[in-house]
Amino acid sequence: EMGVEDRILDQTLTKLIDYAVEKHQEDLNEINAKLRALEKEFEMTSEQFYEKFHRGELGDEDPFFRWDALIEMHRRVDQRLSILLRGSSL
């Protein structure tokens, strides 16, 4: 009887992790599209922007703050996705 409960629990957890991985990958794709649009608009990579923005070489225009926030969101979502993928392979 415990084997059945363990199998059901394992299946449920696997489905939850798969759902979370899929959601995070969708979020990353959406963020990446927004980052690419900003890179095209301002003709620099996000890495170049991030360095210049944090050195104070760019203005304090609204798009720059949104771009910075998107970069931070990307990092957080990517970290969570890495943790989920690492945990799902255990």
Distance CA 32, CA 40 (A): 12
Higher pLDDT, 5 or 81: 81
For 3-48, what is each residue's pLDDT tens digit? 667 888 888 888 998 999 999 999 999 999 999 999 999 999 999 9
Neighbours of 27 (CB within 10 A): 17
Q: Which residues contact 49 (CB under 8 A, 6 or more apart)?
A: 38, 39, 42, 58, 64, 67, 68, 71
- pLDDT tens digit string along 37-78? 999 999 999 999 999 999 999 988 999 999 999 999 999 999
